[in-house]
Structure 1
Amino acid sequence: MKLAFVGLGNMGLPMAVNLVKANYETFGINRSKKKEEIFAESGGIVGDSLVQVAQEVDVIMTCLPLPSDVERVYLGEEGIIANGKRGLILIDFSTVSPDINEKIYNEAKKKGIDFLDAPISGGNEGARLGTLSIMVGGDKKVFDKVYPIFEVLGQNIFYTGKVGNGTVIKLINQYMVSVHTQAVSEALCLAEKNGIAFETLFEILNNSYAQSRIYERHYTQHISKEEYKPGFALKLLYKDISLVQKMAEKNTLTLPLGNQVEELLKEAKDSVFQDDDMSAMYLFMREQAK
């Protein structure tokens, strides 16, 4: 089975490299040529274009930052579906919206092409180690056919039903990630104002009901080290909570807490912290508290 991976970013590059390590012939395409060079140094093949790989490979995977990127890559004139061969399988690991998933699925079907939405969770470390959680929506027979690929990339692989279901679950995940991130940020500001050492707070709360994987991630990987190089950028968390809000509105549902978190993340997205890791929400809130 010949593969292609489009989007060699913080998540996509280690995922594509893992496929190479698993002895899949894998083409890589990225806007940044530097990432393509790193991929080639890891044994991958740099693809010439979307048109080329859409004709040559059996499976194309994408992991892209924005919904507009996903629509362009799949639905543009020079995109995958317009130029793909019959029998091609498409897998999108991006976080977009269920509506976009359904649009791509329907357009692909017209060309005899299959599509799965397969958003991921687990961060760069999960991508590097091949331990991601993968939430897959689409036709079950297609899921079964590419399951060995998912096994290379993740440890927790879930078939969720029809196309778009994986994205619905991922957006719910991102809603909770956003809320937990805000809670951690406010809690640390409160501790700091009261002279509580962060080390002490973490030791206690990490063994109490306040424990969460987000608190552990943010504190141990970033805040305690004062290192905010993005594993997942703050501006992307805002993008995700915005998608959550649109999904809620479509379902005539109000998320009172989500509304507040979205507003705060919008402010943070427009601040100097926008390109930092999402744990830098703590820095943003600390600035607000001065």
Structure 2
Amino acid sequence: MHKKTIGFVGTGVMGKSMVGHLLTEGYDINVYNRTKSKADELINKGAEWCETISILAEKSDVIISMVGYPTDVESIYFGENGILKHAKSGSIVIDMTTSSPQLAEQIYSKAKEFNIHSLDAPVSGGDVGAKQATLTIMVGGDEETYNQVVDIFKVLGKNVVYQGKSGNGQHTKLSNQIAIAAGMLGVAESIIYAEEAGLDIEKVFSSIEHGAAGSWSLSNLGPRMVKHDYAPGFYVKHFIKDMKIAIEESEKMGLFMPGLSKAKEVYELLSNAGFNEAGTQSVIQYLKDQIKKEN
């Protein structure tokens, strides 16, 4: 069966690896990125560069976006030069950015006016999951549309779950971010404590990551914290964005979220300390710096 031509907008930390997997699987890929040089490696592997988003939309059957902020999502989907005005009738658009559930619903409704099918499909797993094609993908939208592209999702991730109507993918991702927000502080504080106690940190990991304290953050980001490796698998600035959206949605529901609120507060201080472009694991350095100041 002929594979759909995919247009991919956003070839950054996550998108670059995702496009690479799709190329390996034999998909024809059109790519666009604000900074073309970030797509050069993919172009050399066979992806076709598009000078504008509108050209990419016109040439693709499925259009995937993986960008930074809800404002970026709005700019590429709406307007005279946006995806929805130029995508083919019957095509499928998939926003894999972590964004607002309401924005996902707006894209879904507007897409219908052009006979375009829309899914919101944010991911979890960071740069490691993108590189290893083991992402968790949370999908909202019409199930019939999901079934048409589930094979594409399975190239990118190992845990692909249809969550229901439009916006539900984003709500699920926000649940994910809420679950890890305070947990990231816990991982950092645990490592600081173990080091101060004079423990062999590798032995500590071997004990606690397989018990009740075990988590993806502990196993994957804990070792990076120990090595002072703060390269971004997931940017501090994007984590703050996600937490802000989660808090906004929680407030609409009348929920009390003290862990989420405290994590956002600490990460904003981390950002102000110059770590905005670093990975989320850099929070350990901020906590250590605060200890030094107090002592």
Q: Scaled by the length of structure 2, what TM-score is found? A: 0.94
Q: Is 1:151 aligned with 2:151?
A: no
- Measure how far apart 1:59 and its partner are: 0.7
Pairing partner for 1:48 from 51, 55, 73: 51
Q: Counterparts of 1:240 and 1:62 in 2: how far apart (Å)?
A: 17
Q: Is the 8 A contact 2:31 2:56 kept in 1?
A: no
- Measure how far apart 1:191 and its partner are: 2.8
How far does the alpha carbon of each residue in 1:151-191 deviate from its partner, in whole angstroms, 9 at most, with x for none? Answer: 21111111110011111111111111211101111222233
Residue number in structure 2 paired with 1:248 = 250
Instruction: Give the number of aligned pairs.
Output: 289
Pairing partner for 1:234 from 236, 240, 243: 236
Q: Counterparts of 2:106 and 2:45 in 1: how far apart (Å)?
A: 34
**Which letter does structure 2 place at the counterpart of 1:63?**
M
- Measure how far apart 1:76 and its partner are: 2.9
Q: Counterparts of 1:271 and 1:104 in 2: how far apart (Å)?
A: 36
Unmatched runs of 5 consecutive residues or more in structure 2: none
| Structure 2 counterparts to residues 32-111 of structure 1, below 5 A | 32-111=35-114
SS at match of 2:274: coil
- Measure how far apart 1:129 and its partner are: 2.2
Q: Counterparts of 1:41 and 1:249 in 2: how far apart (Å)?
A: 47
Q: Counterparts of 1:256 and 1:241 in 2: how far apart (Å)?
A: 12
| Structure 2 counterparts to residues 125-144 of structure 1, below 5 A | 125-144=128-147
Q: Counterparts of 1:79 and 1:126 in 2: how far apart (Å)?
A: 29
Q: Counterparts of 2:18 and 2:24 in 1: how far apart (Å)?
A: 10
SS at match of 1:272: helix
Residue number in structure 2 paired with 1:8 = 11
Residue number in structure 2 paired with 1:274 = 276
**Which letter does structure 2 place at the counterpart of 1:288?**
Q
Unmatched runs of 5 consecutive residues or more in structure 1: none
Q: Counterparts of 1:80 and 1:106 in 2: how far apart (Å)?
A: 14
Q: Is the 8 A contact 2:20 2:42 kept in 1?
A: yes
Residue number in structure 1 paired with 2:263 = 261
Moved more, 2-11 or 182-191: 182-191
- Measure how far apart 1:14 and its partner are: 0.9
SS at match of 2:198: coil
Deviating runs (4+, > 6 A) in structure 1? none
How far does the alpha carbon of each residue in 1:76-112 deviate from its partner, in whole angstroms, 9 at most, with x for none? Answer: 3311012222112100110001011011111111111
Moved more, 208-217 or 155-164: 208-217
How far does the alpha carbon of each residue in 1:186-240 deviate from its partner, in whole angstroms, 9 at most, with x for none? Answer: 22223333333423332322233222221111122x1233221111112211111
How far does the alpha carbon of each residue in 1:129-151 deviate from its partner, in whole angstroms, 9 at most, with x for none? Answer: 22211111001111111112112
**Which letter does structure 1 place at the counterpart of 2:156?**
L
